[in-house]
């Protein structure tokens, strides 16, 4: 994988822009209170000043009808010298419609922290194409604005990855997790499940490689464009794979895997990192990797907290990571940001 430019860290007092680059729910009347909760919480916890990009709160209908305005917002935030970082309000399902309106030279020339997940996986690829590290992690509406409070695991992951320039080191598995909660409910009504820890589905020894996230549905939408990475991009990489996401479908997961295999993603990759899987998903991944891609040697490491649940860690694209199969540990051997 080519080396990506690493943006500067965020600091207390910085201005951070919240953007609706994919879905526009943050601006819908029923979701505005949740958005305001996330904005206030982010400012209070990290000591930053949050502003909205010009069209961030125009609502779902407007932003669906005007993908060019979403592109304008990204270009505006990148070129605004007062803005030091950009956080996505949510994921969605049609970032590909924004791509004709962006200028990757502006991304290249104005490297800044940019974070989101789900459909924002598209933008991980776009930023990589421009040569800049982006961050696969929490969005404003979830989990930053989750009911009650931002959980400690997610809070620390954001701080360590985006606000500190020290090596990230070992990434612990969360002690408990819960599905994304969109309802406005009391925290005590949220059902948490005890986490079982990391699982080495296959592989042995210790392996290092640079990390890159693929969320199936969004990345399949940009196959055939210049933004989908070529096979050589994934050489010795750890592919952080959201299996079946965001659709939660075993069949979609199978199709994702086969599409990525056909595109050469797994040919020379070091391994795969996944979130929590059920047994059918484990069987599907091993079937495609071992019997169809013929990569029985590939490490498959399960239950890293970068997927569609709470809490979430933050994965810096292109960062060198290490999977220790003997001790079942996952480490990021670089800082997420620079001074």
| 84-107 confidence digits (pLDDT tens) | 999 999 999 999 999 999 999 999
pLDDT category of residue 183 using cuts at 50, 70 and 90: confident
pLDDT category of residue 188 using cuts at 50, 70 and 90: confident
Is the pTM here over 0.85, yes or no?
yes
- Structure tokens given for 111: 């490297």
pLDDT (0 to 100) of residue 258:
97
Q: What single string gives the DSSP state of each residue in 233-292?
A: GGTTEEEEEETTTTTT-HHHHHHHHHHHHHTTTTSS--EEEE----HHHHHHHHIIIIII
Instruction: Provide the 3-class DSSP secondary structure of residue 62.
Output: helix
Residue 36's H or E segment, with its range, is helix 32-46
pLDDT (0 to 100) of residue 244:
74
- Kindly report which listed range (54-68, 128-142, 237-251) carries the lowest average pLDDT score: 237-251
State the residue for tokens 């989750």: 146
CB contact at 8 A, 311 and 178:
no
State the residue for tokens 């020894």: 205
State the residue for tokens 């399949």: 220
Q: How far apart are CA 182 and CA 284, in angstroms?
A: 29
CB contact at 8 A, 140 and 38:
yes
- In the sheet that holds 299-302, the strands lie side by side as 169-170, 329-332, 320-324, 206-215, 237-242, 271-274, 299-302, 199-202
User: pLDDT digits over 315-333, tens only?
Assistant: 999 999 999 999 999 999 9
* Model confidence at 305: pLDDT above 90: yes
User: Which has the closest alpha carbon to 260: 298, 316, 309?
Assistant: 298
The pLDDT of 221-240, averaged and rounded, is: 97
More confident residue, 181 or 47: 47
* Model confidence at 22: pLDDT above 80: yes
pLDDT (0 to 100) of residue 7:
98
pLDDT category of residue 245 using cuts at 50, 70 and 90: low
User: pLDDT digits over 45-89, tens only?
Assistant: 999 999 999 999 999 999 999 999 999 999 999 999 999 999 999
Calculate the average pLDDT of the chain: 96
pLDDT (0 to 100) of residue 43:
98
- Structure tokens given for 339: 């001074």
User: pLDDT digits over 278-288, tens only?
Assistant: 999 999 999 99
pLDDT (0 to 100) of residue 246:
60
pLDDT (0 to 100) of residue 280:
94
What are the chain's domains?
15-166 (3.40.50.10740), 176-332 (3.50.30.60)
Q: How far apart are CA 178 and CA 119, in angstroms?
A: 20
pLDDT category of residue 184 using cuts at 50, 70 and 90: confident
Instruction: Provide the 3-class DSSP secondary structure of residue 124.
Output: helix
Q: Which residues have a Cβ under 8 Å from the Cβ of 331 and sit 6 or more positions away?
A: 168, 169, 170, 171, 321, 322, 324
pLDDT (0 to 100) of residue 249:
84
């Amino acid at each position: 994988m080519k080396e990506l430019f690493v943006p500067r860290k965020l600091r207390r007092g910085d201005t951070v822009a919240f953007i609706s680059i994919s879905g526009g729910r943050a601006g819908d009347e029923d979701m505005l209170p949740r958005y305001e909760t996330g904005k206030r919480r982010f400012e209070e916890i990290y000591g930053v000043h949050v502003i909205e990009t010009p069209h961030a709160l125009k609502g779902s209908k407007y932003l669906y009808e005007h993908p060019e305005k979403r592109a304008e917002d990204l270009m505006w935030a990148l070129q605004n010298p007062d803005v030091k970082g950009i956080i996505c309000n949510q994921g969605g399902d049609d970032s590909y419609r924004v791509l004709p309106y962006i200028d990757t030279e502006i991304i290249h020339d104005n490297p800044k922290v940019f974070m989101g997940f789900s459909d924002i996986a598209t933008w991980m690829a776009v930023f990589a194409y421009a040569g800049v590290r982006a961050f696969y992690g929490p969005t404003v509406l979830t989990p930053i604005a989750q009911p009650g409070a931002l959980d400690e695991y997610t809070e620390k992951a954001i701080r360590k990855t985006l606000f500190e320039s020290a090596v990230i080191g070992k990434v612990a598995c969360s002690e408990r997790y819960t599905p994304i909660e969109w309802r406005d409910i009391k925290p005590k009504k949220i059902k948490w499940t005890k986490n079982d820890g990391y699982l080495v589905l296959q592989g042995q020894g210790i392996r290092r490689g640079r990390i890159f996230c693929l969320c199936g549905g969004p990345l399949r939408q940009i196959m055939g464009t210049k933004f989908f990475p070529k096979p050589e991009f994934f050489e010795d990489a750890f592919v952080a794979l959201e299996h079946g996401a965001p659709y939660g479908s075993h069949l979609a997961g199978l199709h994702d895997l086969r599409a990525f295999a056909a595109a050469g993603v797994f040919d020379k990759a070091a391994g795969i990192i996944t979130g929590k899987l059920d047994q059918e998903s484990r069987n599907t991944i091993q079937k495609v990797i071992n019997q169809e891609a013929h990569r029985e040697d590939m490490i498959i490491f399960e239950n890293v907290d970068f997927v569609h649940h709470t809490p979430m860690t933050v994965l810096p694209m292109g960062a060198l990571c290490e999977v220790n199969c003997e001790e079942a540990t996952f480490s990021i051997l670089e800082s997420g940001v620079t001074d």
